Amino acid sequence: MKIGIYFTTSKLQGGVHQYSLAILEAIDKIKGNDYVIFDITGDTPRKYHSQDNFKIIPLNTSTKNIIFRIKNVTSNLVSRALLGLFSNLYKTKWQWIINLPYKTAHASKISIIDNENLDIVIYPTSSNLSFLTKTKSIVAIHDLAHKTHPDFKEVSANGKWEAREYSYSKIAKKTKKILVSSNLNRQDVIKYYQAKPEQVVILPYLPPSYLSLNIPKITQKKILEKYKINKPFVYYPAKFWPHKNHLNLIKAIHKLRKDNFNIQLILTGSKNAEYSTYPKVVKYIDKHNLSKQIKYLGYVDAKEISALYKQAEALVMPTFFGTTNIPTLEAWKMETPIITSNIRGCRDQLGDAGLLVNPRMVDSIAEKIKEVVGNAKLKKDLAHKGKKRLAHWTENDFSQTIKNMITEIIK
């Protein structure tokens, strides 16, 4: 078989990037196939560039094909412009008009994909190319937050709600299989887009392979010294989207200080998010003189992430979105206690292997931080339960699900 992978994520994209990497690693274990990676960001791991059964086709602005670079920039500009039209056209009888400019804007990519004569293309993140091309497709839909949380602008404003509806409804009609991370996601895709039950495949996330539980203690110590991190501390790796709820977590740290309970909060992840809350966070930290307690490290490498998890009292993730969050898996792998939101999806993923809070209530977040810090028995119990939940879904399960799905489609 000849299988394509449309690789669109960068190292800065966190969860979806790790999911894309997991799919690459899974198909690499399926022998006897040839693979074509359509590399959009240039962040495809180097090892695939030298493997005989992998072909890399760069579809980003770094490609040496000048004509394609010009067309790629043009298509990106057209796509952004189309977002403005969605709000006006999507709910009218004229929505079919949207197809034409999209096809025109992405004509080069459509041609490149279809000309490879692939048996199927896997899209680890949802893409309109999955229904604009002729090639059979498998497409991941990671969340339906625009349906469940339309009040958050990062998933609904400026035509995003309509663009998602357009994309997901078309995907449900055309793609052979839709990948979702949980049974709740599966239920939602079937409910909202009338997908056939047999069409929607649950492929849960895996914890990133780059995390090392056995990172040497001396390395951990040096990393904490490098960033001037004092113990005890809690950790939150997340981009500064509004739904990540950084501000309430920072307010909880502030409340604990008022109660004479001092603990550091370490933040990592990109501050360059749409509707980023980073400016508000900095303003609050400065106003309340919290700079010694709250440290933002920006992008950190794999060793540093491993060390932060190993040394943290807990992962604290008061997000407003479920249904599956990769930091939960990361923390379980690193035997780090978890405090997360008592909301649909998060509580289903967590089970009994963590503590739940009301993400809208600062007191609730502060209370659970105080409960876990220094409580060796509780931390050991949560780590044990996390390992048990993680064992329910393995790399072999992930690979076998993909293999079975591909075989079913191309038989």
DSSP-assigned beta bridge partners for residue 4: 36, 121
Strand partners, 58: 39
Q: How far apart are CA 73 and CA 95, in angstroms?
A: 25
pLDDT in tens, 319-351: 999 889 999 999 999 999 999 999 999 999 999
C-beta pairs of 191-199 under 8 Å, 24+ apart in sequence: 192/144, 192/147, 192/168, 193/168, 193/169, 199/172, 199/175
Instruction: In whole angstroms, give the CA distance from residue 4 to residue 123.
Output: 9
For 269, the token pair is: 């992840």
Helix (H, G, I), strand (E, B) or coil at 71: helix
Is-contact 174 137, C-beta < 8 A? yes
Question: Does residue 26 carry a pLDDT above 70?
Answer: yes
- pLDDT per position as a tens digit, 242-252: 999 999 999 99
Give the start-to-end residue ranges of the domains of the chain. Answer: 2-206+394-409, 217-390
| CATH placement of domain 217-390 | 3.40.50.2000
Residue 62 has what pLDDT? Answer: 46
Please give the average per-residue pLDDT across 276-298, as a whole number: 97
Q: Do domains 2-206+394-409 and 217-390 have the same CATH topology?
A: yes
Selected from 3.40.50.920, 3.40.50.2000, 3.30.43.10, 3.30.750.24, the CATH number assigned to the domain covering 2-206+394-409 reads 3.40.50.2000
The answer to whether the CB of 362 falls within 8 A of the CB of 248 is: yes
Tokens of 390: 């993680």
Q: Considering the entire predicted model, what is its pTM?
A: 0.89
Structure tokens of 334?
């690193």
CA angle centred on 204, ends 184 and 360, rounded to 5°? 55
Distance CA 406, CA 213 (A): 33
**Residue 214: how many CB atoms within 10 A of its CB?**
6
Distance CA 240, CA 245 (A): 8
Q: CA 214, CA 67: separation in Å to the nearest integer?
A: 48
326-333 and 15-28 helices cross at what angle (nearest 10)? 70
When mean pLDDT is compared across 205-209, 352-356, 369-373, the lowest value belongs to: 205-209
pLDDT at res. 410: 79
Over residues 93-104, the pLDDT tens digits come to 556 667 777 777
pLDDT tier at 208 (50, 70, 90 boundaries)?
confident
pLDDT of residue 212: 94
Question: Which tops the pLDDT comparison, 31 or 147?
Answer: 147
The amino acid at 296: Y
